[in-house]
Chain A
Amino acid sequence: GENVEQHPSTLSVQEGDSAVIKCTYSDSASNYFPWYKQELGKRPQLIIDIRSNVGEKKDQRIAVTLNKTAKHFSLHITETQPEDSAVYFCAAMEGDTGRRALTFGSGTRLQVQP
């Protein structure tokens, strides 16, 4: 099955700086890569995603890049704000679309210092 590794486990940045979180996956057939943000005590929420037919996607201050050859994808947050502080999870969906299971990374705790 799919295996997703995520780094770093914790990340502390100053407000206004950029933050980058990286994930690698093992199954070359995986074709969908979402990112979830989970605030303390809340449900995980989808913030951005990318499918394997594109290399980059941007939505305001957040962007995701995908390198299929190297089997890794990254989340980029620019101009960080205190409200960006949360745990971020990457995930990968296996290529067998009939199953449609998401495998999650271990999570990154992002702390934005005011």
Chain B
Amino acid sequence: SAVISQKPSRDICQRGTSLTIQCQVDSQVTMMFWYRQQPGQSLTLIATANQGSEATYESGFVIDKFPISRPNLTFSTLTVSNMSPEDSSIYLCSVEDRAPGELFFGEGSRLTVL
């Protein structure tokens, strides 16, 4: 499986600030996916990031709140902007491992917003 490094692994943030999460993959991948997992909940897709094009956002998620960069085939960032306590979640980067749909997840970034 791919090796995914996510930073930071956890952080405590103040309301109104922004935080950028980095995702580095050890191989070139076409699609990278950003998921959110709120405490005790399931996984919800935020957006799909393709290199060289704008990210595709899911319903309920907007670029102003969750800007995404995808500068090359091994790296992506997700920024959580103007954070509120409701943004306290685990944010997970994922890539397709060997076949369409087979997602491999990073360790996640646990954000707590005070």
Contact = CB atoms under 8 A, between A and B. Distances in A.
Interface in A81-114: 89, 93, 97, 99-107
A32 B107 CA distance: 24
20 contacts: A34-B101, A34-B103, A43-B92, A43-B107, A43-B108, A44-B43, A44-B92, A44-B105, A46-B102, A46-B103, A46-B104, A89-B43, A93-B100, A99-B48, A100-B48, A100-B100, A101-B33, A101-B58, A104-B43, A107-B42
Contacts of A107: 41-42
Q: How large is the interface on B (under 10, 10 to 19, 20 to 34, 35 or more residues)?
A: 20 to 34
Contacts, number: 52
Contacts of B42: 89, 104-107
A99 B103 CA distance: 13
B104 to A, nearest CB: 7
B53 interface: no
A23 B43 CA distance: 15
Contact of B101 (A1, A49, A106): A49
